[in-house]
Structure 1
Amino acid sequence: MQTPDNKYEVVIIGGGPIGIACALQAEKKGLSYVILEKGCLVNSLYHYPTNMTFFSTSEKLELDNIPFISNNPKPGKREALEYYRRIATNNKVNIHLFEKVTAVETKAEQIHLVKTTKAEYTANNVIVATGFYDIPNYLKVPGEDLPKVSHYYDDPHYYATQKTVVVGASNSAVDAALEIYRKGGEVTMIVRKPEIGERVKYWVRPDVINRIEEGSIKAYFNSTLKEIKENEVILNTPEGEEILPNDFVLLLTGYRPNFGFLQDIGIKLSDDGRKIPEYDEETMETNIPGIYLAGVICGGVETHKWFIENSRVHASLIMEHISSCKTVKHS
């Protein structure tokens, strides 16, 4: 529900699947809320590769027991966009798109000021459900800022007939390598470990291993990228330095949450290198009363720990806690 004075019981930062799940639960509890999303609806999902297939089956991506019917055993990006869009529109979810949150300030107990590029909001409770896809893990090698370099991959057609280096061995890197190869690209993978990642989708991993073994895709294991130049790349390999002719470089080395944003709010992060935010696992409330976390951001740099399927429950945990605190306060 929209409020005339921009005062809400709950402000949700992030309009992805988990942010939408929080909104649905807020509605059930009769709490006034708004979602603030810096991009389009389910912005991170929208920017995933065109041909991406989820690891999860469709029922594990469902919100609030609303059926997700897919034509395939594993749904793709387009089906997911359609599903979450219909949930948002059919339930008239109160969401402000293309409105970036710039600051969250705690003014008093349970009174938070949320500033955006368009307005200011007052909230008793704030949920941070911002995911992790917006900030790449930079390699900090010379030439990383060249126009031919990207930390994101969309469609293989762009790389047809071109010499493309793919750095990484996770799902995104493997998907890109296979798709570009099948569209006529000349693909070389640079992998810092001795093999393709164990967490790669089980039906894809044998495919890329076989393509490497037969020589369709060239792979350098235990290797790193040393420098990117206009028409070539320089590698560090176990056999020494190697120079490869090159047209494009895809640095698909993962992404990380906006830890600076969390710290600016006042949320504590672990100092063991994992940067896991401090929160109560039973309520999802952080060290700041009335500020909660939901979704993949709970895992710090371990972005493989939380997915839609195992973090959907965060929404109900949070709203149950908020509504119980509200009941106690008014009793």
Structure 2
Amino acid sequence: MILDCLIIGAGPIGLACGLEAQKNNLSYIILDKGTLVNSLYHYPANMTFFSTSEKLEIGGIPFISNNPKPTKQEALEYYRRITTANDLAVNLFEAVLEVRPSNQSKYPTLYEIKSTKATYKAKNIVVATGFYDIPNKLNVPGEDLPKVNHYYNDPHYYAQQHVAVIGASNSAVDAALEIYRKGGMVSMIIRGKQIGERVKYWVRPDIENRIKEGSIKAYFNAEVTQIFEDEIALRTPTSTITIPNDFVLALTGYQPNFNFLKDLGIDWADKTKKIPFYDERTMETNQNGIYLAGVICGGLETHKWFIENSRIHATLIIQDIAKKQD
């Protein structure tokens, strides 16, 4: 069977593309190397979205939550129900290994996609793989110790422990506050002179007050130079110091799989920021029949695209693919 469209990534935007394909009677399949909405699944257990529920809706299907800003568990339930209720063609725990043009002359474009479980042929490909799978590394000695983690889940694990939280974004601030309230001794290591500008407005006063009163120790204009079994070394503007440490949460951000884009032959619109080239009207890249959707469109600027402002990508892409079918 030759698919009209193969979608890589079963996150919210990948699912939105599947819904649009169904509406336009296009044959499709969605592949994901992990579970359904894999990135959301790995968000912290107690996370609350910055966006309100209606801004997380896809396919025009209402998202009802107990409060205006839904929780992670409510989002998982919503996207799971959308998938099952619409009988979306989703294959989970099936990673894409290789994409290559298929030798033929019948269609303008045809690709052969090899996964860990099967081989597919599709006229078009949508890459909606997000950015959460590859953390930005510290690249310091000791980063490979078991006590270092680039993902945070639940604060109870860190009770009564000396925890260094590296970063100043929403994820770092949430982790620091939650661990502190579960009895952890928290230190924040921040490269800049203040908490990140995009930290949620209702959380900022909390973290600033905890730092001011000394409940959470913050080291500004500082960076980690080495991680040891029971301490961590920092470089500050005035000196190099070591502090007691049991665990390190390096919440320094994440990036898309740029190697995969390179393998697909996608050019850069901005090489420095690794922003891939695509036509904003259709989301098609320089490779005919290959489209980008969601956060991956922002390259290293992972804060630029998120669910609420990239839902439109699904409509743009599927409309363009449908036109090609005519």
Distance 1:126 1:64 in 2: 20
- What's the counterpart of residue 244 of structure 2? 245
1:123-134 equivalences in 2 (<5 Å): 123-134=122-133
Provide structure 2 residue ranges, at least 5 long, that are not aligned to the other structure. none
What SS does structure 2 have at the residue aligned with 1:250?
strand
Distance 1:305 1:236 in 2: 31
Distance 1:63 1:21 in 2: 6
Distance 1:245 1:292 in 2: 48
Residues 263, 269 of structure 1: 8 Å contact kept:
no
Superposed displacement of residue 73, structure 1:
2.1
1:82 aligns with 2:56: no
Residues 25, 315 of structure 1: 8 Å contact kept:
yes
Residues 156, 179 of structure 1: 8 Å contact kept:
yes
Residues 148, 247 of structure 2: 8 Å contact kept:
yes
- What's the counterpart of residue 171 of structure 2? 172
Residues 94, 117 of structure 2: 8 Å contact kept:
yes
- What's the counterpart of residue 53 of structure 2? 58
1:293-312 equivalences in 2 (<5 Å): 293-312=292-311
RMSD: 0.8
Distance 1:128 1:278 in 2: 13
- What's the counterpart of residue 203 of structure 1? 202
| TM-score, reference length from structure 2 | 0.98
- Runs of 4 or more above 6 Å deviation: none
Superposed displacement of residue 272, structure 1:
3.7
Counterpart of 1:113 in structure 2: which amino acid?
A: E
- What's the counterpart of residue 215 of structure 2? 216
Distance 2:298 2:150 in 1: 21
Residues 192, 222 of structure 2: 8 Å contact kept:
yes
- What's the counterpart of residue 101 of structure 1? 96
Residues 270, 276 of structure 2: 8 Å contact kept:
no
Counterpart of 1:95 in structure 2: which amino acid?
A: V
> 1:72-110 CA deviation, whole Å, 9 max, x = no partner?
121110000000000000000000010000111123541
Provide structure 1 residue ranges, at least 5 long, that are not aligned to the other structure. none
Counterpart of 1:140 in structure 2: which amino acid?
A: N
Identity of matched residues, %: 66
- What's the counterpart of residue 22 of structure 2? 27
**Paired positions, count:** 322
Distance 1:283 1:223 in 2: 43
| TM-score, reference length from structure 1 | 0.96
Structure 1, 24-33 or 104-113: larger mean CA deviation? 104-113
1:319 aligns with 2:318: yes
- What's the counterpart of residue 8 of structure 1? 3
Distance 1:306 1:183 in 2: 33
> 1:199-247 CA deviation, whole Å, 9 max, x = no partner?
0111111110111001110000000001000000000011200110110
